[in-house]
Amino acid sequence: MDTFAGLNLAPARAICYSGFREGQQPGGKYPSYAEIKEDLLLLQHHWRYLRLYDVDPHAETVLEVIAQEKLDFQIMLGAFIEAEMNNFGCPWGGGVYTEEQLELNKVANGEKMQKLIRLANQYPEIIFSLSVGNEACVDWTDHYVPVSRVIGYVKQVKAGAPQPVTFCENYVPWLHKLKPLADVVDFISIHTYPVWEYKHIHEALEYTQENYYAVATMYPKKPVVITEAGWATNSNGRGINPDHVSEESQAIYYEDLMGWVQQENILTFFFEAFDESWKGSPDPLEPEKHWGLFRMDRTPKEVMAYLKS
């Protein structure tokens, strides 16, 4: 059987899934069983591997739906770790907490690791890998966790669950500060976003390839997975040039990226399935809200015409 390089997985398409709809958000109202079932029935025609970000009620419902409805999905399950240290360099003013809050976060993060282990053992046929955090070590994060603590979480989860363990992060920290972490994870997970780095669509694939090979070359004995790569369809100018984003550009990037990673046998999670209105600022054109291949109301964007062909 042909497998993704370094991982015992059959090649298939992968996507990041977060099912929060209008009026829903983490820590608030969560999607219902019926809403998640509707989403997964929509996604099953195009993707087999789904990435979930936290061990929250959303993830629990996703796992329940897959099990109850006997859907053919495999899950990368993450635990979203909160700040354990202040990051005064966070560009949008987040990242600074009281010492009391940081201590509470450490306790909560430890509890999340225990839940990650429990769910991994509860759904061994559905969950194929585990991530102990997301973008918690990059310079601009608002939920900074020291590398030494992330290493501890990796070791804890590896000791308690049979699935391979990783940590999902922007490609840049893997080139320097995450070298000690690379020694303990089972595979490396990188994020690459040319449009956040002011690249035009015609520079996008080459830039993503540069990001990937910079990390893969540094760690030739470790599998490298792309756990986020995507293209926004709207922007208010905050961090992304509005002239660089559109549904047409998203479709081009998706087609180019999938062509390359399929040829090179690289497991790649496109970001993301659905637009999420809870993200970022209240501005309706906030780019954080507009990465989905489907809109908030589940209608398809232009890229889906390519996917259906």
CA distance 273 to 9: 21
* Beta bridge partner(s), residue 50: 15, 75
Confidence band for 1, pLDDT divided at 50, 70 and 90: very low
Burial class (CB in 10 A: 0-12, 13-18, 19+), 242: middle
Altogether, the residues listed in the chain come to a count of 309
Q: What pLDDT was estimated at residue 3? A: 76
Distance of CA 64 to the CA centre of its chain: 20
Look up residue 99 and give its two tokens. 């010492």
CA distance 106 to 84: 6
- For the chain, what is the radius of gyration of the CA atoms? 18
Cβ contact 49:74 at 8 Å: yes
* Beta bridge partner(s), residue 295: none
Over range 125-147, report the average pLDDT: 98
Q: pLDDT of 197-209, one tens digit each?
A: 999 999 999 999 9
Burial class (CB in 10 A: 0-12, 13-18, 19+), 114: middle
Confidence band for 83, pLDDT divided at 50, 70 and 90: very high
Contacts of residue 93, Cβ cutoff 8 Å, sequence gap at least 6: none
Task: Answer whether residue 175 shows pLDDT above 50.
Answer: yes
Confidence band for 309, pLDDT divided at 50, 70 and 90: low
Q: pLDDT of 289-304, one tens digit each?
A: 999 999 999 999 999 9
Confidence band for 93, pLDDT divided at 50, 70 and 90: confident
Domain at 14-308: CATH code: 3.20.20.80
pLDDT higher for 5 or 146? 146
Q: pLDDT of 58-73, one tens digit each?
A: 999 999 999 999 999 9
Give pTM, 2 decimals. Answer: 0.97
| One-letter amino acid of 219 | Y
H or E element in which residue 173 lies: helix 171-174
Residue 91 CB neighbour total at 10 angstroms: 11
Interhelix angle for 247-264 vs 201-218, to 10°? 30
Q: What is the DSSP annotation of 236-257?
A: -SSSS-GGG--HHHHHHHHHHH
Confidence band for 6, pLDDT divided at 50, 70 and 90: confident
Q: What pLDDT was estimated at residue 305? A: 83
Domain layout of the chain by residue ranges: 14-308
Task: Answer whether residue 156 shows pLDDT above 50.
Answer: yes
CA distance 287 to 157: 34
Q: pLDDT of 38-57, one tens digit each?
A: 999 999 999 999 999 999 99
Contacts of residue 57, Cβ cutoff 8 Å, sequence gap at least 6: 30
Over range 211-231, report the average pLDDT: 98
pLDDT higher for 6 or 75? 75
Q: What is the mean pLDDT of the chain?
A: 96
